[in-house]
Every structure is written in C-alpha cells, then in structure tokens.
Amino acid sequence: MIRVGVSPVGWSNDDLPTLGAEISFERCLDEAARAGFEGIEMGHKFPRDPPSLKRALAARSLELVSAWHGTRLLERSVDDELRQAEPVLEVLERVGARVLVTAEVTGSVIRDRFVPVGRRPVLHPEALRRFGHALTAFSDAVAERGIGVAYHHHMGTVVESLEDVSALLAHTGESVGLTIDTGHASFAGMNLGALVREHRARIAHVHLKDVRAPVLEKFQSAPASFLDAIVEGVFTVPGDGDLELEPVVHALLDGGYDGWIVVEGDQDPDRADPALVARIGREAVRRWCARA
C-alpha cells in the first residue's frame, strides 16, 4: 500500500540551514498536515525527545516516515557507526518509524559551496566492495531493531551514478534497501526507468522530486557546487518541473512497491512558498496513483 509523505526540506533545508532558517518546526507540521500528507520525514529542527515529537505529530494526525543518518563507514568501524546512529535509531524506535535513510558522506562535497559537485570522491572497486560489506553489517544490526536501512544515492558522494548504485547493491546483502531519488538520479544523468527496472526488488523508499531542466542543464555543463544548484532552484516538487514522473509512479506500483512515496523539493522557501508547492506535489502524486 502506497502512503504519501513529505520532506521538511522545502521549509528548512538540512544541507543549507540558512534556507528557511526563520520557519518553525510547528509551521512546517501545520502546513504539511493541511496539504493532506499522512507523514513527514525528520528534519534538523525536529525535537529529538521522542515523547515531544510523538505529541507534535499526533496533534496533526501525522506519522514520522523516516530519518536521515550520514554514515562514515569508510573511516570508522561498524560498531562506531552504530554508536553514532544510536540517537536517531532510538527516536525511530520510540516514535514508530521503520526507515533509516543513509548515505556515505566520507569525503562528500554536499555541504561545501566552494567545491564543484563534480569533484566528489570516487571509490576504487575494491574499496567499494569493502564498503558494501561494512554497510551490510551495519544494516543487519539495524534490522534487528525492526528498522530498515534504505541507501540514498546522492550527488556529491561516493554513490552518485547508476553504475555506482549497481556496484554497491552487488556488494551488499538484502538488509540494504535502496532509496531512489528522482531528482538526484536525473542530476546524475540516470535513466529513471532503468533505475526502477534494474533495482525494483531492492527499492525500500522513494523520494519523488522534480527538476527544472534549464537550471539542471546549466549545472551539468559548468562547474558549481551542489548547494549553488539548490539555491538556483534545480529541484522542485513533483508536478512543478520538467520530469515525466507519472511513468515512474506507475512502474513502482506495477512492481509491487508498497512503501512511502515522499514528496520532496529542496529549494529556497522565499522563492517557492512551501505550503503551496507541497500541495502541488501531493495533488500530483494522488493523481498519478489514481490513474495507475
């Protein structure tokens, strides 16, 4: 059964906190609920105290969908990584969410506005194999707590392209699910249909976002940082950009996907009213699911 949630990054950006710095956690939840979402992912302004978070969500009939944890398994042990992830895992357990979205951030250029996204780290095949084994051990331990790891391919990191995704999944066990992100996939030059077809069995979570083609073309052809692309408006919510996302939704449903579809559109809330664009995204997904 498909459930539709929303990411808080349209209200307050996790990678560039100056975007939406003045928008409160309460406003984000209020507007997400009014837009008709069933759940919301955890953002950097959310309280880490489980009882407080549960009360805030329940007051608006929202569920916690998932939380993000950037791993550094290339530079620390699995046991150390589990200790680093413990605070967020405890929140997920006690609030009742069952998805941990991860990406390896060792050496990443995600949050550096002075480094072009093309200068992201690239792993030697043997290093990727070792990383896959460590990620599997981490995910096995997390799964024992009833939480699934859904690895997020991400611009500016060691797993960015379709080739990277395929290689990583070849070196990981079944406890490692995949978060597909249509915006990051398009930025990386992936064919969205191929991504879904090739890895349908491993898809555990979905970030559905759109791109603005003129902005994407600019940043694919000229060196610039990932954060500059965000500020310029490369991403928006589904139905507000230039991607053909309805076939992606149909392919997910045809393939038996039954998790969350999370509406996402990292952008400047001063240029794109988050309440308005969230509603646009929700209506687009509702329409596409109905037609499927």
Domains of the chain with bracketed CATH: 3-291 (3.20.20.150)
Q: What pLDDT digit, counting tens, does each position of 139-151 carry?
A: 999 999 999 999 9
pTM, to two decimals: 0.97
pLDDT at position 222, please? 86
pLDDT tens-place string over residues 124-141? 999 999 999 999 999 999
Q: Mean pLDDT score of the chain, rounded to an integer?
A: 97
Model confidence pLDDT, tens digit, residues 249-270: 999 999 999 999 999 999 999 9
| 221 against 112, higher pLDDT | 112
Band the pLDDT of 292: cuts 50, 70, 90.
Answer: confident
Per the DSSP assignment, residues forming a β-bridge with 100 are 67, 149
Q: What is the pLDDT of residue 119?
A: 94
Tens digits of residue pLDDT in 25-36: 999 999 999 999
Please say if the pLDDT value at position 221 is more than 90: no
Residue 1 pLDDT > 90:
no
Neighbouring residues of 259: CB distance < 8 A, sequence distance ≥ 6: 2, 3, 99, 203, 204, 205, 206
pLDDT at residue 138 in the model: 98
**C-alpha distance from residue 1 to each of 8, 184, 258, 259, 261 (Å):** 23, 25, 4, 7, 10
**Stretch 103-111: mean pLDDT, rounded?**
96
Instruction: Give the whole-number percent of the chain exceeding pLDDT 90.
Output: 98
Task: Return the percent helix, strand and coil in the chain, to nearest 5.
Answer: 45, 15, 40
pLDDT given at position 255: 92
